[in-house]
Structure 1
Amino acid sequence: MSHAAPVYPGVRMPTEAEASLALESSRLLAACIGRGESARLRLIDGETDVTVPVSAIHMLVDILNQMAQGNAVSLVPIHAELTTQQAADLLNVSRPFLVKQLEGGAIPFYKVGRHRRVRFSDLMAYREGLDQQTADAADELAAQAQELGLGY
């Protein structure tokens, strides 16, 4: 059974031409990074100079790299409040599974009326914890395989 990526209003997948252009643009932009705290971008359609923080250019390079891989991109502010469905979609789990994690205390949440809300930062902390558990388990399995001489 394949799990289709959720479709959000206003979000569309990049075309092949956009992905190719994003790849080229990300490489050129990445080459310009690292020369101070800000950079100037010249828009060719006009004579407007825009000065932006280098951190924003890093984000733009990341966005372009995702587009180059054919991924749609959406920015989520770190303090964003998510519905349980949005949180489940970000973790690629079912909503009932996420609700069990919330009610079990694995992820902090609060209620607005009768609806649960999850802070994006709490959701990412939970995901980092899962990633760490996975890495620890893999390390332990590799160590056991070496002890047993399984050639891994």
Structure 2
Amino acid sequence: MLKQKLPLKSVTQPQEADLIAKLEQILSLEDSQAKLVGSNGEEVLIPESVYSVLRQVVHAMASGKTITLAPHNRELTTQQAADILNVSRPFLIKLLEEEQIPYIKVGKHRRIRYQDLMTYKEVRDKKRSQLLEQLVQMTEDAGLYEDNE
């Protein structure tokens, strides 16, 4: 039986950078059919759905980003959720109490579904982008933005 330890976090080691860059280059080729070659020489074609995820993960790692993989139905602790949002645990608790993110109670502990957390994050990030665009527009309208061309 295969046990999974999730979320899986991956941080690129310096000695792996060249290998990851080469792998990214190979994966970015269009119309390439990837296959896995086992230690016994057996070849297995990689399904497109897996290939797509692999491409995204390798690209992010080549860009120096940390990768976290987690199933959508996974329940997170408040600390795990706070880490994903890059906020403090007390701030996350405040969001939960304000009902901005759904949660369940397991005994005395709060648990947040991964999908609910990602939905909140997407909405939050979209609002931030819209506010930033409005701020830029207001700055331009007020003549405070200088174009150095």
After TM superposition, the score normalised by the length of structure 2 is 0.82
Does residue 29 of structure 1 match 2:23?
Answer: no
Unaligned runs of 5+ in 1: 1-7
Contact preservation (8 Å) 1:18, 1:68 = no
Match of 1:130 in 2: 124
Could you give the per-residue CA deviations for residues 77-110 of structure 1, whole angstroms, max 9, x where no partner exists?
Answer: 1111100010001011111110110011010001
What secondary structure is seen at the aligned counterpart in 2 of 1:74? strand
Which residue in 2 is equivalent to 1:19? 17
Aligned-pair identity (%): 37
- Contact kept, 8 Å, 2:77 with 2:110, in 1: the verdict is yes
TM-score, length-scaled by structure 1: 0.80
Match of 1:92 among 86, 101, 108: 86
**Aligned counterpart, 2:111:** 117
Alignment of 1:2-151 (within 5 A): 13-32=11-30, 34=31, 39-43=33-37, 45-151=39-145
Following TM superposition, by how much is the alpha carbon of 1:146 offset from its aligned partner in structure 2, in angstroms?
A: 2.2
Deviations 1:101-150, CA, capped at 9 Å, x for gaps: 00110100011111100011111111111111111111111221222122
In structure 2, distance between residues paired with 1:88 and 1:140: 28
Counterpart secondary structure, 1:47: coil
Asked if the contact 2:103–2:113 (Cα under 8 Å) also holds between the matched residues in 1, the reply is yes
Flag the 1:12–1:139 CA change in 2: closer, same or farther, 3 A: closer
Q: Which runs of 4+ in 1 moved over 4 A?
A: 8-12
> Take 1:144 and 1:10, find their aligned partners in 2: how far apart are those partners?
42
- CA-atom RMSD in angstroms: 2.4
1:139 and 1:69 map into 2 onto residues whose CA distance is 26
Work out the number of aligned pairs and report it. Answer: 141
Q: Which residue does the alignment assign to 1:4? A: none
